[in-house]
Amino acid sequence: MSALSLRRVRDALPLLPFLAVVVVFLLIPTVTVIVNAFVDDGGFSLARIEALFSPTALSALGKSVLLSGSTALIGAVFGAVLAWLVIDSPPESMLRRAVLSVCSVLAQFGGVALAFAFLATVGLNGVLTLWVQHLFGFNLAGSGWLYSVSGLILVYTYFQIPLMVIVFVPALEGLRDQWREAAFSLGASRWQYFREVAVPLLTPAFLGSALLLFANAFAAYATAAALVSQGSPIVPLLIRAALTSEMVLGQSGFAYALALEMIVVVAVVMIAYNALVRRTARWLR
Amino acid sequence: MTTPGVAVELVELTRVYGTVKALDGLSLRIEPGELVALLGPSGCGKTTALRILAGLDEATSGAVKVDGKDISGVPANKRDMGMVFQAYSLFPHLTVLDNVAFGLKMRRKAKADRLSRAKEMLELVGLSEHSHKYASELSGGQQQRVALARALAIQPRVLLLDEPLSALDAKVRTQLRDQIRRVQLEVGITTLFVTHDQEEALAVADRVGVMNRGRLEQLAAPAELYANPATPFVAEFVGLNNKVAARVSGGTADVLGTVVPTLPGSVASGEGLAMVRPESVTVTADPAGSARVSSVAFLGPTSRVYVTLPDGEVIGAQLTSVAARAFAPGDPVTVGVDADGVLVVPS
Amino acid sequence: MSRRLLRGAAWLGFGLFFLFPLYAMADFSTRNLLAGGRTLRAWANLVVDDALYQAIVVSLALSALTVIAMLVLLVPTLIWVRLRAPWAKGLVEFLCLLPLTIPALVIVVGLRNVYLWVTYFLGESALTLTFVYIVVVLPFAYRALDAALAAIDLRTLAEAARSLGAGWTTTILRVVVPNIWPGILSAAFISIAVVLGEYTIASLSGYQTLQVEIVAIGKSDGPTSVAASLAVLVFGFALLLALSLATRGRRRRLTTGVTE
């Protein structure tokens, strides 16, 4: 071994603890999933992958895509509006700090709590349900829609919009004042500035953020698990069923295939996100 | 291509932010086709004045007149002024050509017309081969030239430059400032140039306005400003100065053994500090001299000879390097002053 | 004028949408269904109900452990990468951000074999979740710590300390760490919030953490679950708001030290 590579090895040694933790608790589980998706009864087999094309699995995939796509769209649009409202406030104001803190909590740490928030609002005994019942005689929670995909769409927006705010605010902040002032001094009206400068510059960041929202919703588990106790309409819940199933018919193996499917979808979306954002992120640095 | 210049007038402009007075009654008239530089340290209000003129900021009181008409209520996008910012003002998603043509697009000019005019402007600043590049592919100096072309493409009545060279390297700065001046003279446009660099201001302007704390201290041609500073601040800010003890009586000052007329604004009589430029200090070898050379700094074409006076003060004299070769640290010398006038400030 | 009206209306709309469910939680969890009026029974359960209380303690202990483990693991590693192994920066960054693209659900599915070994060596306690949680908080912690390290002149500080005779431990603990407090605080607070809110891995691995218990109780005792959920949300909000206020002051102080 040359002196350089010997030194490299010596310099790499302190990194071992970190690498060990990441390999054992992140990479090995991931590889386990990928490998086990192609295994059945100890040998290479596509049986588990084939199960992904069963009606149940395809239906779950379709609903997951619907849920993720719709909440990504709603979250992106409303989140962008809220993000604009936030940066319109003075930079160090309490309002801005409070809003960004709330967004952080709801977007990233609130999974189960959000389910209960909506149970308390539009569940069978929810505050809003009871008010509406009292005022209009109409049972808002009647069909139990909160525990189906439509309910999930509503609850998911509660963390998708805040996530959009967190991800999009930096892009809005990257829109330099000089561009707006230069556009005005060159004769642009507010609308012209918006259409010719702001929108083209923000569109890649906006689309990229929407993709991020899609991946986030697709991979989300806690909220759905807390709301939906019966049935598995979406992929994450199907995984739960496969893992906790008492049936012996290779159901737990099915979980591997489903997890692989999840990795693939999220990976594809993240690759698209990178391709979109890489070129144009420079503009808004 | 030459637009007839218009006169610009700032009338008693005041701008207050909370308790801070950024501008305190600034009045200034720029003649048609003239380039006036506003010079001063950061916070003196020069950029505030420029932005009020551009319409990007509103004065608390006072008026802005262009060609005799009061435009104080006119929004920024209707003022017909071209502006060059300090940095990062080119639209990153447009090519150089589209950047330059942007103002014309806002005025709804036909595509063929605006592209041909944009090309003309790029030729004026010497960047024709770069028309299809993006801002990130250009150097800082090139970007500013494109910004200049973009500002001039709309044939504005007034050109505004907000510290356009401050973000650039020293060498690029000198080249670009000469180019900006050349273009400005060729086009004949009334121009306001804001900077904190006094060398820049003196080099490009027809007249220089020195500002301090929101007020205009002196407005004069560069040579006049340099030779006859009206206030101590101007004398300090523009060019280098020695401060030498002097005694004033009857319109003259006794400085370093020489009698020199005092400039208006000086102390009327008694002790004071005379502001003497290094190039006005004379150094003569004199074995009986009471002053000593302390060090000689070689600066290329000129050198600075530092001399310690009998009272302990050190002053710097500027000599040609050839003349400076005669002196070495420790040499006894006599110093004097060779100037038409000197400003004496209170001690 | 109309712009301000529009903005006010928009703020109102968002305010209602986001704050109403929180109000509903407060109302729901204090409702006295039998006698009408208010009761704090559900909230008292946070301490009184043994299973819930245990779960709270476990989760708090888990977050403390995770924060300590994460800091002990990540801070020296990131410092080392910057000073001695810059060629590894890309790899470390990639690995730290990888958990963002690998869903927790996937990790827990593939975790079974690994945890068979872990429980074999370390027992059945929920605290063994610390290892996985380090990985889960990695992206957040990395961003905070990396930003803080980038803001100081690490090389000069470390070389100065070492040239004055300090060993690596002293250098890290007494020279670098005091200068990256905002980043450490940020990483710690965010990690606490993540661990307290984590449900996926804990529930599918069969451990009784706070979130798991909340869901379990939710089937039979709605108000208590809602109370606990609201408590977690408010706590998380308070943490992050405090962090936002704390780092603002510090950031200003740090820069004045360096540039003036």
Query: pLDDT tens-digit profile of A236-259?
Result: 988 888 887 755 455 667 888 899
How do strand B190-195 and strand B158-162 relate by DSSP bridges? Answer: parallel
Q: 3-state class of A81 per DSSP? A: helix
Arithmetic mean of pLDDT, A123-144: 81
CA nearest neighbour of B227 among B339, B115, B107: B339
User: Is the pLDDT confidence value at B331 over 50?
Assistant: yes
Matching residue, tokens 């101007």: B234
- Closest chain C CA to residue A236: C105
Please give the Cα distance from C203 to C213 (Å, whole number): 9
Q: Do residue A15 and residue C24 have CB atoms under 8 angstroms apart?
A: no
Phi, psi of A210 (to 5 degrees): -60, -40
- Asked whether the CA dihedral C76, C82, C87, C89 is positive or negative, the reply is positive
Average pLDDT, chain C: 86
Average pLDDT, chain B: 90
H-type alpha helices, B206-285:
222-227, 232-237
Q: Do residue C14 and residue A85 have CB atoms under 8 angstroms apart?
A: yes
Q: 3-state class of C1 per DSSP? A: coil
Phi, psi of C28 (to 5 degrees): -60, -40
pLDDT value, residue A211: 94
Please give the Cα distance from C181 to C108 (Å, whole number): 33
Residues 163-182 in A contacting C (C-alpha not used; CB under 8 Å): none
Q: Which of C18 and C3 is assigned the larger pLDDT?
A: C18
By percentage, how much of chain C surpasses pLDDT 70? 95
Alpha carbon distance, N-terminus to C-terminus of chain B: 54
User: Is the pLDDT confidence value at A77 over 50?
Assistant: yes
Can you list the positions of beta strands (E) in chain A?
A: 39-40, 43-44
**Domain boundaries, given as residue ranges, for chain B:** 8-232, 240-345
C/A touch flag: 3 or more CB pairs below 8 Å: yes
How do strand B242-249 and strand B291-298 relate by DSSP bridges? Answer: unpaired
Residues 16-45 in A contacting C (C-alpha not used; CB under 8 Å): 17-19, 21-22, 24-26, 28-33, 36
pLDDT in tens, B115-161: 999 999 999 999 999 999 999 899 999 999 999 999 999 999 999 99
State the pLDDT confidence band at C153, using cuts at 50, 70 and 90.
Answer: confident
Q: How many CB atoms lie within 10 A of CB B142?
A: 20
When mean pLDDT is compared over A40-54, A61-75, C152-166, the highest value belongs to: A61-75
Q: Which amino acid is at C141?
A: A
User: Is the pLDDT confidence value at C190 over 60?
Assistant: yes
Q: What is the CATH number of domain B240-345?
A: 2.40.50.100
- Closest chain A CA to residue C113: A29
Q: Which amino acid is at B67?
A: D
Arithmetic mean of pLDDT, C66-71: 95
- CATH topology for C50-259 is MetI-like fold (1.10.3720)
Q: 3-state class of B284 per DSSP? A: strand
Task: Say if CB A161 and CB A75 are below 8 A apart.
Answer: yes
Please give the Cα distance from B347 to C15 (Å, whole number): 64
User: Is the pLDDT confidence value at A229 over 70?
Assistant: yes
Q: Which amino acid is at A36?
A: N
Candidates B78, B82, B92; nearest CB to A283: B92
pLDDT value, residue B120: 93
Task: Say if CB A47 and CB A37 are below 8 A apart.
Answer: no
How do strand B343-345 and strand B270-276 relate by DSSP bridges? Answer: antiparallel
CA nearest neighbour of C180 among C222, C230, C221, C144: C144
The residues with which B344 forms a beta bridge, in sequence order, are B274
State the pLDDT confidence band at B1, using cuts at 50, 70 and 90.
Answer: very low
- Asked whether the CA dihedral B50, B51, B54, B58 is positive or negative, the reply is negative
pLDDT value, residue A125: 82
- Tell whether A121 is within 8 A of chain C (Cβ): yes
Kindly report the CA angle at C144 between A274 and C248, in degrees rounded to 5?
120
Please give the Cα distance from C177 to C185 (Å, whole number): 11
State the pLDDT confidence band at C195, using cuts at 50, 70 and 90.
Answer: very high
CA nearest neighbour of C46 among C239, C223, C236, C174: C223
**With respect to CATH, is domain A54-284 assigned 1.10.3720.10?**
yes
State the pLDDT confidence band at A8, using cuts at 50, 70 and 90.
Answer: confident
pLDDT value, residue C3: 82
User: Is the pLDDT confidence value at C257 over 50?
Assistant: no
Arithmetic mean of pLDDT, C69-97: 91
Task: Say if CB B147 and CB B87 are below 8 A apart.
Answer: no
pTM: 0.84
Tokens of C12: 């109102």
CA nearest neighbour of A79 among A188, A183, A167, A190: A167
Q: Do residue B92 and residue A188 have CB atoms under 8 angstroms apart?
A: no
pLDDT value, residue C260: 31
Arithmetic mean of pLDDT, C182-192: 91
State the pLDDT confidence band at A68, using cuts at 50, 70 and 90.
Answer: very high
Matching residue, tokens 């406030």: A89
User: Is the pLDDT confidence value at A163 over 90?
Assistant: yes
> Who contacts B308 (Cβ-Cβ below 8 Å, separation ≥6)?
B291, B292, B293, B294, B314
User: Is the pLDDT confidence value at B109 over 90?
Assistant: no
Task: Say if CB A69 and CB A214 are below 8 A apart.
Answer: yes
CA nearest neighbour of B186 among B100, B90, B120: B120
State the pLDDT confidence band at B313, using cuts at 50, 70 and 90.
Answer: confident
- Tell whether B154 is within 8 A of chain A (Cβ): yes
User: Is the pLDDT confidence value at C251 over 80?
Assistant: no
Q: Which amino acid is at C39?
A: T
**Domain boundaries, given as residue ranges, for chain C:** 1-39, 50-259
Which helix (H) or strand (E) is B319 found in, with range? strand B314-320
A/B touch flag: 3 or more CB pairs below 8 Å: yes
Q: Find chain B residues with C-beta within 8 A of A175's C-beta.
A: none
Percent helix, strand, coil in chain C, to 5, is: 85, 0, 15
The residues with which B10 forms a beta bridge, in sequence order, are B28, B64
Task: Say if CB B240 and CB B277 are below 8 A apart.
Answer: yes
User: Is the pLDDT confidence value at C49 over 90?
Assistant: no
pLDDT value, residue C256: 33
**With respect to CATH, is domain B8-232 assigned 3.10.640.10?**
no
pLDDT value, residue C170: 85
pLDDT value, residue A114: 92
Q: Which amino acid is at B181?
A: R
Separation in Å, CA of A84 to nearest CA in chain C: 10
Percent helix, strand, coil in chain A, to 5, is: 80, 0, 20
Kindly report the CA angle at B201 between B88 and B85, in degrees rounded to 5?
15
Q: How long a stretch of residues is chain B?
A: 347
Q: Find chain B residues with C-beta within 8 A of A179's C-beta.
A: 89, 91
Q: How many CB pairs under 8 A join A and C?
A: 225
Phi, psi of B106 (to 5 degrees): -65, -30
Q: Do residue B83 and residue A183 have CB atoms under 8 angstroms apart?
A: no
Tokens of A31: 């590889």
pLDDT value, residue B18: 87
By percentage, how much of chain B surpasses pLDDT 90? 60
Arithmetic mean of pLDDT, C85-107: 89
Task: Say if CB B64 and CB B29 are below 8 A apart.
Answer: no
Q: Find chain C residues with C-beta within 8 A of A256's C-beta.
A: 109-110
pLDDT value, residue C253: 41
pLDDT value, residue A65: 95
Task: Check residue C15 and give left, alpha or beta (phi > 0: left; psi -120 to 50: alpha).
Answer: alpha
Please give the Cα distance from A40 to A48 (Å, whole number): 7
From residue B127, give the alpha-carbon distance in Å to each of B88, B145, C16, C260. Answer: 18, 8, 55, 41
CA nearest neighbour of C159 among C88, C251, C82, C258: C82
Please give the Cα distance from B175 to B231 (Å, whole number): 31
